[in-house]
Structure 1
């Protein structure tokens, strides 16, 4: 996803237009790809949650996950407005827009750094505890 977001910087700079790719084609194809990738990104999380919850609660838990995703999208919209004002994007001046897109791409990669905090299984968690106690 971060690669496609960096690709947006090239789009804003006019790189693809100079190569002969129409703006409408780029927007439709890459926006569609980002949406599909978003759903594939959350799919393993939904499967894991459904396996861990008690039988009969799957629907309620999926509704909770869906509402949490909706809340995250709302909050990210406010952060996007704050980021735009921070880099100097206004209604008349889009000069800071490529920098905002690069910041967005970097922030997309942050969960990869934190993924090491998620334990693989109970054996690895126990071995980590043993290492910490030694």
Structure 2
């Protein structure tokens, strides 16, 4: 079997709020809790397992999602409708813009705990999604 990413744990100050935030914007579902985890699963079966950080501080991470052009339009509309600040770059130097890197489109925004979320329509290097 080739190596595949199966899941990653996303620590949050409120796992329910953060999982629902991501699911709502990406048009996904929050799945039933499994142990301490609240999963949001992408189309390629990778689970983002949200877990409460408890007393530990949340260290912001970066999560990027490859989407079609149509999905980009839908997600971006939800970002705008929610009144979220978005950026063309991960350093947050180009607010209110999207990028056109590699012949596609991309945009970044922060979740309630500061995790940087990204949607892109092309793989880095310009390859179209298969």
What TM-score results when the alignment is normalised by the length of structure 1? 0.23
| Bigger RCO of structures 1 and 2 (CA < 8 A, at least 6 apart) | 1
What TM-score results when the alignment is normalised by the length of structure 2? 0.24
**Structure whose residues are more often strand by fraction:** 2
**Structure whose residues are more often helix by fraction:** 1
Q: Who wins on radius of gyration, i.e. which is larger?
A: 1
